[in-house]
Amino acid sequence: MTTDVKVPDIGDFSDVPVVSILVAVGDTVAKEDALIELESDKATMEVPSPAAGTVKEIKVSEGDTVSEGTVIMVFEEAEGGGDAPAKEDKKEAPKDEAPKEQAAKSEAPKSEASSAPVTDAGFSKVHASPSVRAYARRVEVDLNKVNGSGRKGRILREDVEKALKSQVAPAAAGGGAVSGGMGIPPIPAVDFSKFGPVEEVEMSRIKKISGPALHRSWLNIPHVTHNDEADITELDKYRKEMDTQAKEDGYRVTLLSFVIKASVSALKQHWEFNSSIHPDGDKLIRKDFYNIGFAADTPNGLMVPVIKDADRKGLVEISKELMSLSKAARDGELKSKDMQGATFTISSLGGIGGTSFTPIVNAPEVAILGLTRSKMAPVWNGEEFAPRLMQPLSLSYDHRAVDGALAARFCVTLKTLLGDMRKLMW
């Protein structure tokens, strides 16, 4: 009995490129074995096998785009018999079709390569990941003219950089301006081996994906960072009491839970921080929901899970969700839907150290709050200096949506809420 294997629920993503096919016709797979790998701008996803069986037919190729419900393979379930002849027949079919498909893919771009502009349409048939295509668009390199050095001719970022250097070299030789796209000169390559031993270490997939997104945000958003401090002396005493009880119940209560709760209250009072800039640039999109992203440090790089509807959850529920999402991030088990829909993000370095930093706004959000390690400091109370536990706050914002005075008011609101935990219940 044959069964169609379809792409399962992958959240709000659609038209996601297939970057790798992990099985071949005739392979026997077990339930939950990975079949194909998809890569969006935000995450890499493996599509698992829904059941044990034999691959009879593969319906997609690397570079194709798929959405939820797309048929990617045909299986013969494990309990079926007499499938050996079918394997031989099915193996021949793709071989006959492959040259035709390959010819179509290779011929179509050639007719346009000399004159076609660098556009999304021109990139649609190129065998490269979304992050590489985005990088190539940014630095104005036509992928139709780039030779891929990756597996099966896949174009890697290094191939784009090599092509970019070949474009820049003639301009430099002729005395023209050297540009790496958007008027920004590229950083010249340096042979560090001339100075001592070196080693090339491959970046994690998450860093390869998130890097271009961060670069895009930094280039497009006029960042300003407002630094302040909040007195969390009383709050931390209460947090420790809650945490003692929470340990017995199998979870932890961290400062981040309180900051999320306080941030939601501050966002309600200053809605601009919970908005996005409209694509036409002349209005803000006001959001009446509060999904708070938080940066999670994992062995593979930084990930940003999202606590949905944080305004409807109490400290205990937020604490438990923080713990479960953080564990899923570290274990590489986050789903795409777990990282979508944030309206405001918090990046906490409190467990590591530091006094302040400039977190990069996670577009299309317009603000991000950075936390570093709290410290005991002498604070004047009107009569004397008293030791108080002070929490540094670093608020980066998009100056197109938020001005400096509003940023200062937002931080004052946040400080007030963190300074008197009773106001978190209002």
Q: Decide if 219 is inside a domain.
A: no
* 161 within 8 A of 212, measured Cβ to Cβ: no
Kindly report, residue by residue over 237-252, the tens digit of the pLDDT: 999 999 999 999 999 9
Q: Decide if 375 is inside a domain.
A: yes
Q: Decide if 215 is inside a domain.
A: no
Amino acid, single-letter form, for residue 35: L
- Of the three residues 108, 133, 167, the one that is the final residue of a domain is 108
pLDDT of residue 281: 87
Shared-domain flag, residues 232 and 174: no
Number of domains making up the chain: 3
The residues annotated with a catalytic role in the active site are 399
- Which residues are CB-contacts of 395 (< 8 A; sequence separation ≥ 6)? 225, 226, 227, 228, 367, 368, 369, 370, 407, 410, 411
Shared-domain flag, residues 150 and 177: yes
Above 70 in pLDDT, residue 177?
no
In terms of residues, how long is the chain? 426
Above 60 in pLDDT, residue 136?
yes
Q: Mean pLDDT lowest for which of 96-110, 163-177, 210-224? A: 96-110
Band of pLDDT at residue 223, cut at 50, 70 and 90: very high
The CA angle 151-153-154, to the nearest 5 degrees, is 70
DSSP symbol at 292: E
The CATH code of the domain that includes 87 is: 2.40.50.100
Q: Decide if 341 is inside a domain.
A: yes
DSSP symbol at 154: P
Shared-domain flag, residues 104 and 176: no
Is 424 or 115 the better-scoring residue by pLDDT? 424
- Of the three residues 146, 176, 206, the one that is the final residue of a domain is 206
Give dist(CA 166, CA 172) in Å, integer: 10
Joined tokens for residue 99: 């040259």
Please give the residue range of the domain that contains residue 29. Answer: 2-108
In this prediction, residues 95-99 reach a mean pLDDT of 42
- The C-alpha torsion from 107 through 101 and 205 to 304, rounded to 10°, is 100
Give dist(CA 394, CA 225) in Å, integer: 6
In this prediction, residues 390-404 reach a mean pLDDT of 97
Tell me the residue ranges of DSSP E strands in 260-316: 275-277, 284-286, 292-294, 296-298, 301-303, 306-307
In this prediction, residues 374-396 reach a mean pLDDT of 96
Beta carbons within 10 angstroms of residue 320's beta carbon: 18
- Of the three residues 78, 108, 138, the one that is the final residue of a domain is 108
Above 80 in pLDDT, residue 284?
yes
pLDDT of residue 85: 36
Q: Mean pLDDT lowest for which of 197-211, 316-330, 367-381? A: 197-211
Shared-domain flag, residues 52 and 168: no
Shared-domain flag, residues 375 and 255: yes
Mean pLDDT for the chain overall: 82
Element (H, E) at 335: none
- Which residues are CB-contacts of 424 (< 8 A; sequence separation ≥ 6)? 258, 261, 262, 265, 315, 417
Kindly report, residue by residue over 331-363, the tens digit of the pLDDT: 888 888 899 999 999 999 988 999 999 999 999
Q: Pick the most confident of 45-49, 67-71, 291-295.
A: 291-295
The CATH code of the domain that includes 137 is: 4.10.320.10
Is 186 or 175 the better-scoring residue by pLDDT? 186
In this prediction, residues 125-145 reach a mean pLDDT of 72
Q: Decide if 179 is inside a domain.
A: yes
Give dist(CA 15, CA 64) in Å, integer: 9
Kindly report, residue by residue over 8-49, the tens digit of the pLDDT: 887 777 788 888 788 888 888 888 888 888 877 666 678 888
Residue 337's Cβ-side half-sphere holds a number of Cα atoms within 13 Å equal to 6
Give dist(CA 170, CA 165) in Å, integer: 9
Q: Decide if 217 is inside a domain.
A: no
Q: Decide if 214 is inside a domain.
A: no
